Amino acid sequence: MQAQTDRISIEYDLTFMTAFHCGTGIREALIDRTVMRNSGGYLYVPGSTLKGVLRERCEQLARFYEPGKQEEREEERAQSPHDAEAALWGLGKGKPGMVTRIFGSQNRPGRLFFDDAEQTESEIEEYDSQEEDEGKGKYRDLQVGVYTQVRLDRPTRTAVRGALYSSEFGNSDIPFRGTIQGWLACETIDPGTGSPEQSSYTPTYSLLLLLAGLRMFERIGGNKSTGKGHCECAIKRIEINGVEYAEDVWKSWLSQIDVLAQYHRSEEE
């Protein structure tokens, strides 16, 4: 199986269908839980949050497509990337798994960079006043809503005394655009397994897993158990080694997702 290193750039749009909370962990005035804003006061979704959610989705897919004896391999174990014991377990083992190739581990640094997903300039202009004397960004407060909540005692299902707090939530239908770029090294998919012929480029197993994970985005941020953070991710542009690929091409790659089950079989051969 031939290995290759690709320079990739993926642009995607992230749209929330419900209110969402990407928290700062900082209290401000009467708001106990504030949301992330950039220096201009506009909401964004941190790249670290996106990377964590995407890694979880890719791990789910990798476990689903793994062949037997998955418990014997370090890279298929569901674990935290900061688990020192797991890092020692995988030291000196065979080739890394697809998830490790994408996101890295304590033994193998990742080479992909996840930028913050920010609002586009056209979206930001919606918050700017049309009257010059009223100042820029007058309507930025329309990005968020404030909700009062109370912490519940789980055994008794009653409100905890003195546990009333307020939280900021980003409003629904705010679109964000993010970018994933860097280098990704992995084995190419064997053309004999059904790789499409309309493109001269043969995708790698890790790239296919990454694209599939992006399409699985469902919820991001806090309060997911109460229905918050429901979102959709739409891939807008894919460039590999300086060549941009049309939507019908990369979707044809995803139609062959079952080939992910062949990844570790190539090592045995």
- Within-domain flag for 93: yes
**To the nearest whole percent, how much of the chain has pLDDT over 70?**
79
pLDDT in tens, 11-64: 999 999 999 999 998 888 889 899 999 988 899 999 999 999 999 999 999 888
Is 196 a residue whose pLDDT tops 50?
no
- Within-domain flag for 103: yes
Output the pLDDT for position 85. Answer: 67
Provide mean pLDDT across the span 78-87: 60
- Within-domain flag for 147: no
Closest CA to 98 of 180, 10, 186, 183: 186
**To the nearest whole percent, how much of the chain has pLDDT over 90?**
44
The residue ranking higher by pLDDT, 93 or 139, is 139
Residues with Cβ within 8 Å of residue 260, at least 6 apart in sequence: 61, 62, 65, 98, 205, 208, 209
Instruction: Give the pLDDT band (50/70/90) at residue 1.
Output: low
Phi, psi of 243 (to 5 degrees): -115, 130
- Within-domain flag for 234: yes
Is 257 a residue whose pLDDT tops 60?
yes
Predicted TM-score (pTM) of this structure: 0.82
pLDDT in tens, 233-245: 999 999 999 999 9
- Within-domain flag for 53: yes
- Within-domain flag for 146: no
Domain assignment of residue 51, given as a range = 3-19+47-120+173-268
Closest CA to 154 of 225, 244, 94, 217: 225
Instruction: Give the pLDDT band (50/70/90) at residue 93.
Output: low
Average pLDDT over the chain, rounded to an integer: 82
- Within-domain flag for 86: yes
> How far is 93 from 201, CA to CA, in rounded Å?
30
The residue ranking higher by pLDDT, 91 or 208, is 208
Look at the chain and report how many structural domains it folds into: 1
pLDDT in tens, 137-176: 678 888 999 988 888 888 887 888 878 889 999 999 889 9
The residue ranking higher by pLDDT, 151 or 182, is 182
- Within-domain flag for 150: no
Output the pLDDT for position 123. Answer: 83
Give me the residues paired with residue 4 across strands.
186
> How far is 52 from 112, CA to CA, in rounded Å?
13
